[in-house]
Structure 1
Amino acid sequence: MLDALIAHPVPAEAARLAALLTGAFRCRSVDSAGSLPKALWTRAPRLLVLHLSLSGLNLDETLRLLREDDALSATCVLAVLESREESGIVAALESGVDDFVAEPLHPAEFRARARALVRSPREFSAPTAHIKVAGIVVDSARRVATAGGRRVVLSATECRLLAELAGRPGEVKSKESLIANVWGMPFDVSAHTLDSHISNLRRKLGPPGQLIETVRGVGYVIGKRKR
């Protein structure tokens, strides 16, 4: 059974979320940002459910810790937002979290998003876990890439997205197919969510990230477009 760490300011709510994950995850919880690093290092969780109202939380620092520590690099982050306001959603996605849910939570959606995030690399729709295209190499198993010889640590969603594009260079991928293959769930994932992850990928990859081309009105392609 996979480990999950729930960081929520209200212990009773953390217990409710843990109950929703029963059977798929072994859960523990913390109720403050100060307790979070120790809990992460004590036993690296596969899933971190992170309520963004957690007292003392510095989201950028928390995500940097996860991405730069090899022992924690496989941890997926599911952010919990207090509302569905667009500004909060955009800020969360641009920070680099893997996915989000917003309150009031829908139990089935919460469970599905949590399970989708921790799919193994074997379940990615890309044909292989190790992919090369132009100056980019994607290692799905380790959730890292190299771009122009520079190591880039990716979130789980960023890795799936890059692998999906790089697996068939030159092939235009519609936004609908990317959402279906990367998120792999029946719940709504907006085109704006996809666009935010693409923007993060380009920024992280640096100059090689410009190989990811927007095909207006359709979706995205990496590398020279096939005619």
Structure 2
Amino acid sequence: MKNVLKKPLSILCFLLVFAYGCSDEPETKPNVPDDNREGHPISAKDMTNASGPVSPGAFSLWQSCSTYPYYISGTNGICVPVGGTECGTNYLGAQQNGGQYATGLQFTGTFKGGNNAPNGSNEMAVFICDNVSSWTGREMGFVKTLSDNTLKAYIQSPGQYIYQTLYTGGSGYHTYKCQVRSASQNSLVDFYVDGVYQCTLNNPGVNYWNQWYYFVGTTHRTSGGWGSGGQQIEMYDMQTF
């Protein structure tokens, strides 16, 4: 993500795509069929971590201070709350221990956000990424900014951050999916909510297809002076493609 997960990073130069209009819930858009995914040679690394369901036990949970992410009892879900004011910069995360070659992600869950944070660097996100050390690599997923309670589809590569607004408000449960268009159209990522096509983001020259990705859910409090009670991510039925 554009903001760091565990430690401060240098400021990136972001390439922004202007957001479109938004509503209280995802607007209805035409269904489009998924493109057929093209195969790739199977390696030992593939066989060790195949794409498919990602169980809660495959995630490590971490936090900056005394607000904790947790496994949701009796389910296959994980909750990542927004950190409290017990420390100035408060990050929480659920991070997949091992990655896999993949072209996209899907999960059912909710982004219970708010609009009372002082700026958009306070956020929550679910995504896959190929860099879990500097967090500046290829990423694709969903991010909600907590200054305006707005959910966005986004993709990232070194020095670039591209997004489109999906909707503002809403804390219901939905199925979220993003996937690279195809091996030959590997800079295009398609986004869906509840199986309904939302948008396509393009980062020309960057290949998102079949990279070694990790599944991550995280929340970032970067400033104090606001209450975040009840604001959290819930993720169920996580999987990669």
| TM-score, structure 1 as length reference | 0.29
Greater strand content = 2
Structure 1 or 2: more helix by fraction? 1
**Structure with the greater relative contact order (CA < 8 A, sep ≥ 6): 1 or 2?**
2
